[in-house]
Structure 1
Amino acid sequence: MQTVLFDRDLSWLSFNYRVLLMAADPKVPLYERVRFLSIFSSNLDEFSRVRLPALLALHQLKAEAEPAVLPAVQREISRQLGVFGEIFTQQLLPALRNEDIHLYHNEPLQPAHHAAVRDYFYTTAMGFLQPVFIRLEQPVEMFLENNALYLVVSFENDEHAIVNVPSHALPRFLALPDQHIIFLDDVIRHFLPQLFPSRKVTGCYSIKVTRDAEIDVDEFSGHLLQKVENMLVRRELGLPTRFLYDASMPDTLRDRLAAYFRIAPQEMVAGGRYHHLRDLADLPMPVRNPAFTYPKQVPARIQALEAADCLLDTVMKQDVLLHVPYQHYDYILRYFNEAAIDPDVREIYVTLYRVASGSQIVNALISAAKNGKQVTVMVELKARFDEANNVRWAKRMKEAGVKILYSIPGLKVHAKVALVKRRRGYRYEHIGLMATGNFNESTARFYTDHVLLTAHAGMTQELELLFIYMQTGLPPARYQFMQFTHLLVAQFNLVDRFTALIRREAEHARAGQPARIVIKLNNLQEKQMIAELYAAADAGVEITLIVRSICCLVPRKGIRVRRIVDRFLEHARVFIFHNKGEEEIFMGSADWMNRNLHRRIEVCFPIYHPQYRREVKDIIALQLADNTNAVILDSQIVNIPVEKQPGEEDVNAQQAIQAYVHTL
């Protein structure tokens, strides 16, 4: 029987639309609503760079086996952009004005601001401008940079020029007196006559090109580090996937520009006057009002760890489970810092996928190497859009004496694990760290994740086995002798174990026993795992899913799917199998996507400690009780707000978890 699935791209767009609707929610603080517009725009830019190229290629090939997804995707993007414009112009701009904050939006410059704008144009902006006259009847004469902003200027006598908007070098917004704000684009627009003094401007329209980011490093020869550096250069020269233009542009000019820049019709997208609105995240706040942003939340401290002289000693006695950002990330930094200076620590192993630009963790690893410890770091150079940062840190660590392992051929290392080996007499203590999110103290402020610190002999020994494997780089098939009993490791046992756990629940249901599965993921797309869930639901298993982003599973009898979009980005992966009341609980790095299960090294780990098992179940229960920001995904891929029952109190999961964690 064919497995019925949602299209992954339409599912992702459904998620991004939920992000967009947060900007329309009056319960969300004003500047946070503006920030959600920025997140929506940033997400859509990445979608255009990563997913649209594949859809365009399939469309051009007219592959009969593929449904006509591209037109549906383009219609949905167009619809969402219309909603974006309505929220921005009809809701947020008036809301800002009600707070005496005025963002210029396609309107004349007030005389009181002319001097300030004129001074900024001549002393700052003008030095970054590169006006270029173009002949639309000639072959292409210039290259439009990826995601850069440009103004197409029309003159009398059918002349045209293109002017860059240097938002990469200058702030996108200029704060003016009387709590007014103006786009950099409009600063340039107001002074086009001065930029082209001998010509009469008849029109000005914004454009932006997004280019394909999916370039395979295997195209390049040589060492992987050099391959990635070459790929970074090539990426910015990728083929166009989206040509965003001002919808007020005359059709004739639009078509001539498309021909001039060799843009296919399906790559043309009508937009508003302003593009690249991810920059709204940097909108100045001339009125400092605490009500404009989320109230500051102080992460909880763990008293036992605060009182401990040595975190590593504490972990040797008992596991530690952290829930960030509700609890302090400082304990993770302390794990690496203590390992770096402890004279008895001899070896440190860690995987790095996305690293903070000023990473304290990497600096601790560099210090450890300089302190004479053997430090081995698997740096994933193919972490999309973080490649340059990872290359930079890899070079710095290597210069300091850190042993750097680069990506395994054909695989990405997405696991978030570390291992410290400490000498005690004639033996070694193993202290492991396993997480659902990256070792990144920057994103840890707004990504919800779980981190386990453990000295469990079985888990830490299996972690050491995994690091031995990663140092060889040989295919997993050469390591069938590796037996992972506690850890679930993609390429070895992860898919088989999850499949067995689902089927066991189905067997319990068929035997008339209670059978339940609760799974929280970022993305659910892998066809075989979805088929297993369908079969389990058909057998009578009660399945509840919390899926933030892509969900290709179609909800049906026995399977409920909900989505939570709120202040923090829900990032943790949690798996709970009822097992006749003896639950098995796992966490880890692996979403159920083709790439995660079949083309990556992932690690999921069990939660054994009774207290932490209770905490995990309590946190998941609060997320399942959310009736303010949670939505139910229906069979038409629509987000349906959770209905609050009569007399039921409001439950916001993230606020409730924050309060709960402070009681632990």
Structure 2
Amino acid sequence: MAIPLYNRDLSWLSFNHRVLQMAADSQVPLYERIKFLSIFSSNLDEFFRVRMPAILAINKVLEHDPEAAGEESPTPETLQEVLDTINRQQEEYGRIFTGMILPALQQHGIMLSYGPVQPHPELATFTRSYFQTAVQACLQPVWLSQRHKKFFPENNALYLVVTLSPQTAPDIREIVLVNIPAGLKRFLSLDAADDQYHIAFLDDVIRVHLPYLFRGYIIHDSYCIKLTRNAEIDMDEMKGDVLEEVETAIRKRELGVPTRFLYDAAMPLSLRNFLAARFDVADNEMVPGGRYHNLKDLADLPLPAGLPGAFLYPKAKPVVHPEAAAADYLLDLIQRRDLLLHLPYEQYDPVLRFFSEAAVDPDVEEIYVTLYRIASGSQIAQALISAARNGKAVTVFVELKARFDEANNIRWSKKMKEAGVKLIYSIPGMKVHAKTALVKRRRGYQWDYSGLIATGNFNESTARFYTDHVLFTSHAGITREMELLFLYLQSREQPMAYHFLQFGHLLVAQFNMLTRFTEMIDREIAHAQQGLPAKVTIKINNLQEKAMIAKLYEASEAGVEVNLVVRSINCLLTGIPESSRIRVVRIVDRYLEHARVFIFHNNGREEVYMGSADWMNRNLHRRIEVCVPVYHATLQQQLKDIVALQLADGRQAQQAIQTYVQNIV
């Protein structure tokens, strides 16, 4: 019997629509609404780079072999629904931007030129000088109408397609591509004498001054275009020098086949067809847009000085964890009791201290850590470098296949390797997504172990706006199993070669995670069937794995109360008999919800886990993920309270959690 499932791509698009709705919310500060427009655009770019290639590929297969469709395969109708959904959302985007955001800016004297309008005279004088001194030198016109000219548009780069004619032969039409330089600021601003703050797009600065670029020509029209290329490069089967192969793959990514040709909807059909043929773009890859593309750049919209603070969210001040701050030595404190951080509501300092203390403590001899997305200016990576130079045995598993962070991870890998850090690279066919660190200190003839397990990356940049939890523990069972995990990772073997590894505390994907999650839900089902209280509460980013969705349906039908907080993809269908006892909450707010928490009622003896794993096929079947039990009763209650606040009021949850964390510390 088929399991009712919602299409993952349509679900993701509904999440991105929720982001767009934040831009329309008048209760959100104005410049934060503009940032949500930026996030929406950035998300959509990634969708076309990562998901659309798979949808198009499957659609092409089904055109030739309709029987090849699997139970979860997108159909040709799905592709059309995806494209129609995107078009509707982009139209809504335009209505929000032009009908709500621009008028709101104007009410505060911020005049963002949007459309073919004449710039303010003072801005015109300034932009002419700016064009002649800074912009013109960066322009590289390509005459597309000259067939012998070969040109390969860069991924997600902006171009103006300019139609023009020689003044001496006005009947001849030429087509020229002009780059909009990515190295220059997208917006120019000026405080004018009329006491208004004028902002212009770089695109329009170039448009207005095209006659300086094409002397002796009549300029007819100009239209903005952008080509998005496939970024889903298969790095899973790398067998040789992983570092070298990933570097090669990154370069190839920018040469991927087109997945979206975004054009100004005002562009004539004849010109559109010419460009599609010239750049080898299929009809279903042509996407109409507005006058401006790459509106993710709105995140950099200039903010005039002296504007009211209400334009932005009030500055959040993460609270200090009192016990960690009072401790002279954090590693000693961890030996006495477990600690739990709730980010970004609490300061990230204890995580940085964990690594920096380990780097200089004379009794620390070994440090192990998994790094998935390393901050560009990582203090953690620097601490690991110092530790290695201080004579400690430092072992770091760096996931080189962390999408779009590969280059930064490679850069830090080379620095750490030069310092003497033992680097372990990606396992072929598998990603390591676990967020774990282990420090071993010698105490005479014995060792003490300090473990660190998080729901998010060891990344001090994202720790400011990702909601995550970080557990510090010296629990003997947990830390010994962490050591086993690191011994396995150093082998770089497939999990089946280490099937003998036994994890009793940790849940480790590829070993026992799927089995244990299933068993704990089955236990709730058994309790419900016996007339006992039965409840499952899960907070994750994505829910897509078919077997786990089926198990949640089974639990619901058995009488188990199921509460889900799912930020993004959710393939579980609500409003059907199978999900009558399932409640789903989605939270989109100031911070990016990122934590994964799993709570099983167990007839009043609740079990609480936190960790790195979403319930996606990739997480449960093709990654190394780790979830850890939270045994300390007070810390366990904190996680339960926080998830309860999210379930009670998804819209105001983050503010409520901010207050809650301030009170508990």
TM-score (norm 2): 0.95
TM-aligned CA deviation for residue 256 of structure 1? 1.1
Q: 1:81 to 1:139 in 2, by over 3 A?
A: farther
Aligned partners of 1:198 and 1:486: how far apart in 2?
76
Q: 1:308 to 1:146 in 2, by over 3 A?
A: same
SS at 1:207 equivalent = strand
The equivalences for 1:180-199 within 5 A come to 180-199=198-217
- Counterpart of 2:396 in structure 1 is 377
CA displacement, residues 101-126 of structure 1 (integer Å, 9 cap, x when unaligned) = 11111111122221100011011011
Q: Is the 8 A contact 2:607 2:629 kept in 1?
A: yes
Q: Is the 8 A contact 1:134 1:160 kept in 2?
A: yes
- Counterpart of 2:386 in structure 1 is 367
The equivalences for 1:537-616 within 5 A come to 537-555=556-574, 556-616=579-639
Aligned partners of 1:139 and 1:196: how far apart in 2?
20
- Counterpart of 2:53 in structure 1 is 53
SS at 2:206 equivalent = helix
CA displacement, residues 504-551 of structure 1 (integer Å, 9 cap, x when unaligned) = 100100111110000000000000000011111110101010000000
CA displacement, residues 344-377 of structure 1 (integer Å, 9 cap, x when unaligned) = 0000000000010000000000000000000000
SS at 2:319 equivalent = coil
1:128 and 2:138 correspond: yes
1:480 and 2:471 correspond: no
Q: Which ranges in structure 1 are unaligned for 5 or more consecutive residues?
A: 630-651
The one-letter code matched in structure 1 to 2:177 is I
Q: Is the 8 A contact 1:521 1:571 kept in 2?
A: yes
1:623 to 629, 634, 646: 646
The equivalences for 1:84-233 within 5 A come to 84-106=93-115, 107-135=117-145, 138=147, 141-156=150-165, 157-166=172-181, 168-178=182-192, 179-217=197-235, 222-233=240-251
SS at 2:5 equivalent = coil
1:79 to 41, 65, 88: 88
Q: Is the 8 A contact 2:236 2:430 kept in 1?
A: no
SS at 2:586 equivalent = strand
Aligned partners of 2:224 and 2:562: how far apart in 1?
48
1:338 to 351, 357, 364: 357
SS at 2:98 equivalent = helix
1:499 and 2:513 correspond: no
Q: Is the 8 A contact 1:29 1:293 kept in 2?
A: yes
1:252 and 2:261 correspond: no
- Counterpart of 2:24 in structure 1 is 24
The one-letter code matched in structure 1 to 2:28 is V
Aligned partners of 2:638 and 2:149: how far apart in 1?
61
SS at 1:356 equivalent = coil
The equivalences for 1:380-419 within 5 A come to 380-419=399-438
Q: 1:208 to 1:557 in 2, by over 3 A?
A: same
Aligned partners of 2:446 and 2:23: how far apart in 1?
57
Q: 1:162 to 1:655 in 2, by over 3 A?
A: same
Q: Is the 8 A contact 1:140 1:261 kept in 2?
A: no
TM-aligned CA deviation for residue 217 of structure 1? 2.6
SS at 1:655 equivalent = helix
Aligned partners of 2:332 and 2:627: how far apart in 1?
24
Aligned partners of 1:581 and 1:235: how far apart in 2?
51
CA displacement, residues 463-489 of structure 1 (integer Å, 9 cap, x when unaligned) = 000000000112211212211000000
The one-letter code matched in structure 1 to 2:400 is L
1:268 and 2:283 correspond: no
Greater shift in the superposed pair: 446-455 or 155-164: 155-164
SS at 1:437 equivalent = coil
The one-letter code matched in structure 1 to 2:80 is P
Greater shift in the superposed pair: 584-593 or 618-627: 618-627
TM-aligned CA deviation for residue 252 of structure 1? 1.0
- Counterpart of 2:445 in structure 1 is 426
Aligned partners of 2:272 and 2:46: how far apart in 1?
24
SS at 1:484 equivalent = coil
| CA RMSD between the two structures | 1.1
Q: Which ranges in structure 2 are unaligned for 5 or more consecutive residues?
A: 166-171
The one-letter code matched in structure 1 to 2:535 is R
SS at 1:217 equivalent = coil
The one-letter code matched in structure 2 to 1:612 is L
Q: Is the 8 A contact 2:264 2:291 kept in 1?
A: yes
Aligned partners of 2:23 and 2:41: how far apart in 1?
12
TM-aligned CA deviation for residue 216 of structure 1? 1.2
The one-letter code matched in structure 2 to 1:163 is V
Q: Is the 8 A contact 2:236 2:428 kept in 1?
A: no
SS at 1:126 equivalent = helix
Aligned partners of 2:10 and 2:41: how far apart in 1?
16
- Counterpart of 1:635 in structure 2 is none
Greater shift in the superposed pair: 591-600 or 53-62: 53-62
Aligned partners of 2:286 and 2:12: how far apart in 1?
21
- Counterpart of 1:466 in structure 2 is 485
TM-score (norm 1): 0.95
The one-letter code matched in structure 2 to 1:8 is R
CA displacement, residues 213-251 of structure 1 (integer Å, 9 cap, x when unaligned) = 011135777400000000011000000000000000011
Greater shift in the superposed pair: 462-471 or 124-133: 124-133
Aligned partners of 2:158 and 2:48: how far apart in 1?
16
Q: Is the 8 A contact 1:34 1:92 kept in 2?
A: yes
Aligned partners of 1:509 and 1:222: how far apart in 2?
52
Q: How many residues align?
A: 639
The one-letter code matched in structure 1 to 2:300 is D
Q: Is the 8 A contact 1:517 1:576 kept in 2?
A: yes
1:536 and 2:555 correspond: yes
SS at 2:263 equivalent = strand
Q: Is the 8 A contact 1:220 1:230 kept in 2?
A: no
CA displacement, residues 589-632 of structure 1 (integer Å, 9 cap, x when unaligned) = 000000000000000000100101111111111111116x2xxx
Aligned partners of 1:174 and 1:162: how far apart in 2?
22
Q: Is the 8 A contact 2:237 2:429 kept in 1?
A: no
How high is the sequence identity, in percent, across the aligned residues?
61
Q: Is the 8 A contact 2:120 2:198 kept in 1?
A: no
The equivalences for 1:33-52 within 5 A come to 33-52=33-52
Aligned partners of 1:516 and 1:351: how far apart in 2?
33
Aligned partners of 1:187 and 1:146: how far apart in 2?
22
Q: Is the 8 A contact 2:6 2:573 kept in 1?
A: yes
Q: Is the 8 A contact 1:139 1:260 kept in 2?
A: no
1:11 and 2:11 correspond: yes
Aligned partners of 1:578 and 1:110: how far apart in 2?
64
